Amino acid sequence: MLRVGLTGGIGAGKSTVARRLAEHGALVLDADAMAREVVAPGTDGLAAVVAAFGPSVLDPTGALDRAALGRIVFADPDARRRLEDITHPRIRMLTAERWRSAPADAVVVHDVPLLVELGYEDRYHLVVVVHADADERVRRLVDERGSTEEDARRRVAAQATDAQRHAAADVWLDNTGAPDDVLTAVDRLWTDRLVPFEAGIRSRPWIPPAQRVSLHEPDPTWPTTARRLAARVRRAGGGRAVRVDHIGSTAVPGLAAKDVIDLQLVVVDLTDADDVATALADAGFPRAAGAWSDTPKPGEAEDPALWQKRFHGAADPARPVHLHVRAAGSPGARYALLFRDWLRAEPAERRGYEALKRRLAEEHPWREGYAAAKEPWFVEHAWPRMQRWAEATAWRDPTTHPDG
C-alpha cells in the first residue's frame, strides 16, 4: 500500500486533485468528510461541540452550522484548539478504521487540510502539496464559497505558511493557473511516480540499478529533503533507532554530488537492523539483496566483521536514497559522520574531494567503477587526515557520545 498525504491551503484546489486521483484508481480518504461524519446529528462528537460552544452552532434542523462554528474558531486560536481536542481523536479513530480496510495494493490518498499544522508528514510515503497564491485563494473563497473577504483572509492566515508547506512537500503542484494545467500534472504524477512507487514497496528485495554517474551542482533542497526522509526512517525504526543522520556528499554544503540522499540509521546492533528491515521496507525503504559491508580502514578496527552493515534503497522512483544501517560505535558509523563533519569544516579538503569526484566521474562513468576508484583516496588520503582533525578538534563519535 502506498500512503499519500494530500494537503494545501484552503481554496488551493485539493478537491480537484483528489477527484483526479480517484479517477485514476486511488482510494481517497477525505479528512473533511470524516470531520463532518464525527459531528453528524446524533453523534457524541456533536454533543461535545455544543457543550463547548453553545447551541448557536446548530442550524434549525439540529445539525452543525459549520459557518457559524468557523466564525468562532478562526477568530480565536483557543477556541480552535478546543474544537480540535474534540474532533481530532474521533477523526483519528475513524481514519484508522478506513486505513485498515484498504486493499494491500492500493494507492491511498489522505486528503488532510491541516497535515502540516498537525505534523503528520512522516506518516506517509509521499506528501503532495497543492498550492495557489494567497490572493487567488481568497478570490475563490469569496466568489465560489460566498465568504467575505475579511473572513477568507482570516482563514488563509490561520493555516500554515507556504514556507512550512514547502518543507513538507515531496511534490508541489501549482494550481494558480488554468485548471487543466494541474490536472495534467496529476496525470503525470500518477503514471510516473505513484504507480511505480506502490509497486516498488511490494517488490522485495531491492536491487540497486546500474546507474551512470552524474554530478549535480549543490542543491539547497537536499538538506530539507533529507530531514523529511530521515523522519520517516526514524518513525519506522521506532525504539530501535538510536539516531538518523544525513551523511554523504549531499550533506556537505557547497559540494557537488550525485543526486542521491544518503542516510545513516544507527541501531544498537545488527540484530536490531534485521528486526526493523520489514518496517523500513513498508515505509518505502526496501532492503537491498546480498551482504553489505564497508571497506575496513587501516590502524583501527581492521576486522572486516566490524564493518558489516545493512543497506536499503528507495521504492520511490523519483527520489534516490541510500540508507546505511550500522551499529552504534561501529567503525563504519563513526567514519560516515567524521567524514561528513571533516569536509564541512575544511574547505580545502572539500575542494580537493570535489576535484577528485569530477575527474573520476569522467574516467568511470558507471557507479560501481566510480565507487571503487574513489576507495584508495578514502584509505590513503582522507582517513589519516580525518583522524588528525578529529584529535585536534576533540571530535567525538555521536553514536557513542550522544552529547557529541
The verdict on whether residue 336 carries a ligand-binding annotation is no
Predicted confidence at residue 105, as pLDDT, reads 95
Write the pLDDT tens digit of every residue in 117-126: 989 999 999 9
Q: Indicate whether 404 pLDDT > 60.
A: no
Q: Work out the percent of the chain whose per-residue pLDDT is above 90.
A: 79
pLDDT at 266: 98
Q: Is 11 annotated as a binding residue?
A: yes
Residue 251 has pLDDT above 70, yes or no: yes
**pLDDT over threshold 90, residue 207:** no
Question: Is the pLDDT assigned to residue 139 strictly greater than 70?
Answer: yes
Distance CA 119, CA 300 (A): 42
Mean pLDDT score, 81-95: 93
- Range scoring the smallest mean pLDDT among 146-150, 221-225, 291-295: 146-150
Q: How far apart are the first and last CA of the chain?
A: 39
- Residues 131-149 as b or e (16 or more Cβ within 10 Å = b): bbebebbbebbbeeeebee
CATH of 215-393, one of 3.30.420.40, 3.30.470.10, 3.30.460.10, 3.40.710.10: 3.30.460.10
Higher pLDDT, 248 or 404: 248
**Domain range summary for the chain, segments of one domain joined by +:** 2-202, 215-393
Q: How far is CA 83 from CA 92, 119, 166, in A?
A: 14, 18, 27
Q: What is the pTM for the complete model shown?
A: 0.89
Determine whether the annotation assigns residue 12 to a binding site: yes
CB atoms within 10 A of CB 160: 20
Q: Which of 89, 47, 12, 65 is nearest to 73 (CA)?
A: 65
pLDDT tier at 221, thresholds 50, 70, 90: very high
Task: Establish whether 214 is an annotated binding residue.
Answer: no
What number is the average pLDDT over the span 45-61?
A: 95
Out of 44-48, 140-144, 214-218, 342-346, least confident range: 140-144
pLDDT higher than threshold 90 for residue 55? yes
pLDDT band at 403 (very low <50, low <70, confident <90, very high): low
What is the band of 135 on the pLDDT scale with cuts at 50, 70, 90? confident
Confidence band, pLDDT 50/70/90 cuts, at residue 174 = very high
Q: Is the pLDDT of residue 401 over 80?
A: no
Q: Stretch 106-135: mean pLDDT, rounded? A: 94
Q: What is the mean pLDDT of residues 61-89?
A: 92
Q: Helix, strand or coil for residue 325? A: strand
Instruction: Tell me if 14 is assigned to a ligand binding site.
Output: yes
Of the pLDDT bands very low, low, confident and very high (cuts 50, 70, 90), residue 209 is: confident
Q: Is 16 annotated as a binding residue?
A: yes
- Give pLDDT tens digits for 40-51: 999 999 999 999
Mean pLDDT, all residues of the chain: 94
**pLDDT confidence of residue 301:** 67
Fold of the CATH domain 2-202: Rossmann fold (3.40.50)
Q: Residues 256-282: what's their mean pLDDT? A: 97
Q: What's residue 303's pLDDT?
A: 85
For the sheet with 261-267, list strands across it: 243-247, 261-267, 321-327, 308-312, 292-293
Burial of 41 (0-12, 13-18, 19+ CB in 10 A): exposed
User: Among the ranges 10-14, 208-212, 358-362, which has the highest mean pLDDT value?
Assistant: 358-362
Q: In the predicted model, what is the mean pLDDT of residues 296-322?
A: 90
